Amino acid sequence: MILDAARGALASGPLCDPCLGRLVADRSFGLTNEGRGSALRTAVALADDESFEAGPEDDCWVCEGQCSRYDTWADRAVDALGDVDFATYQVGTRAPPLIEENDSLLRVEAGLPEDAGEPFKSEYNREVGKRLGMRTGTDVDFERPDVLCLLEIERETVDVQVNPAFVYGRYRKLERDVSQTEWPCSACGGTGKELAPKSEGGGERPCTECGGSGYRYDHSVETSIAPAAREAMDGSEALFHGAGREDVDAKMLGTGRPFVVEVKHPRVRRVDLADLEAAIDDRTDRVEVEGLRLATHAMVERVKELDASKTYRLGVRFADPVRRADLEAACEALVGETISQRTPRRVDHRRADLVRTREAYAVCGTLGEDEREGSDEPEAGKRATIEVHGAGGLYVKELAHGDDGRTEPSLADLLGTAVEVETLDVLAVTGEAEPFERAEYFLDHGTEN
């Protein structure tokens, strides 16, 4: 019986209404635990025909008066958050061991199972959280909030954890020899320094491989985008996540490649995305971005695991003149075939030696108009532009030149002549199975686009 449990709890010592009501927190939705406790106290007095005595606030043996301090802790949380910009929050509580022990003993005194009702910490999270939300005009989020306020009851402090913010977009890389991410120099390990030989006096000097920069390439997509996002959000660090990567010597054109920048400890979240886009574009002529949107953490995994088809444009040179009709036939023969590719020689030092199968969805070739070298035929030439739309993971350079038989079939095998890839541009990166940029992966915090 509920009243029997209430009698046992009240007989255990001075007990506040929230602690009493917490024993039956799963009863009668719409009441607070304080309301349940007051109702139980009244019901026991009526049933036993005893004088009614209100519950104490500060002299409770279970919570030691903490249940009367919800507003105090909410104010502390607001102060601890300071000028941090956030739209969602969560509250956690670290209770003193004595209060947690008392909370368990109360159930014993009431003759209830140890898991009856609601734990002290759960009630504290909810009651302080409701007040924090009202004070800041923000919403609770139990999955991945912008900020987490941890109430340290014993220490009388609030620790604030600011979770990362995420900006999604697409980038175009307009020049070659620009890496996607920072690429530390392998000779100096990214330090930018090396030891001079004794014949030159010894000591440290700038690395002769990288010129002292510490990087293999002077420019990267990451350093063009990530610092601007970090500055706009006043964060401590920014991490760049791309949906795959193009070769360093390839351009990324067309619709661009999806990316997400993860900004750690941001103090500003609701940035003007048009201003951020302009700031990124102003940093360099090598990289430009578009379609910036605030994203959720789930977008990081979606970008990193994107099973994307890609469209490429290759500028190729043939060892022997190739007739237009033969080029068209070879391109057509590649479409719909199972392309078997052993890990290319150019990447086998960093990737497992495997045989993968991929598909080319569309292949078309156009002979160069200004080159008829070595051929008297007007419909033949040694240079061509090849466009390939292929499945994710298709090694398109090897599809052209064959990689000494490691890719079969290849354009070189079908034409019977060696093929050299002179230039490579990526024109499109698109999700294979479904629309990639789905609304649930983005936030709407009233940002300007």
What percent of the chain clears pLDDT 90, i.e. is strictly above it? 76
CA distance 75 to 131: 9
> Which of 128, 130, 109 minimizes the C-alpha distance to 20?
109
Question: Which pLDDT band holds residue 449 (cuts at 50, 70, 90)?
Answer: very low
pLDDT digits (tens, 9 = 90+) for 108-148: 999 999 999 999 999 999 999 999 999 999 999 999 999 99
> Do the Cβ atoms of 321 and 200 come closer than 8 Å?
no
CATH of the domain at 24: 3.30.2300.10
Q: Write out pLDDT tens, residues 66-89.
A: 999 999 999 999 999 999 999 999
- Which of 120, 65, 67 shows the shortest CA–CA distance to 94? 120
Residue 277 lies in a domain: yes
Q: From 144, 162, 180, give the residue that closes a domain.
A: 162
Q: Are residues 154 and 251 in the same domain?
A: no
Task: Measure Cα distances from 232 to 146, 236, 260, 271, 278 in Å.
Answer: 17, 11, 15, 7, 11
Does the pLDDT of residue 375 top 70, yes or no?
no
Q: Count of CB atoms within 10 A of residue 405's CB?
A: 10
Q: Do 102 and 6 reside in the same domain of the chain?
A: yes
Does the pTM exceed 0.85?
Answer: no
Residue 86 lies in a domain: yes
* Claim to verify: residue 182 and residue 233 sit in the same structural domain: yes
Query: 9 with 145, same domain?
Result: yes
Q: The domain containing residue 274 runs over which residues?
A: 165-306
Q: DSSP states of 15-37 as a string?
A: --HHHHHHTTTTSSTT--HHHHH
Catalytic residue of the set 247, 272, 281, 413: 247
Quick check: is 363 in a domain?
Answer: yes
Looking at residue 252, which CATH number applies to its domain? 3.30.70.2510
Q: Which two tokens stand for residue 255?
A: 């619709």
Beta carbons within 8 Å of 391's beta carbon, 6+ residues apart = 309, 358, 359, 360, 361, 432
Residue 436: inside a domain, yes or no?
no
The residue with tokens 């605030």 is: 294
Clarify whether 326 is annotated catalytic: no
**Is 441 a domain residue?**
no
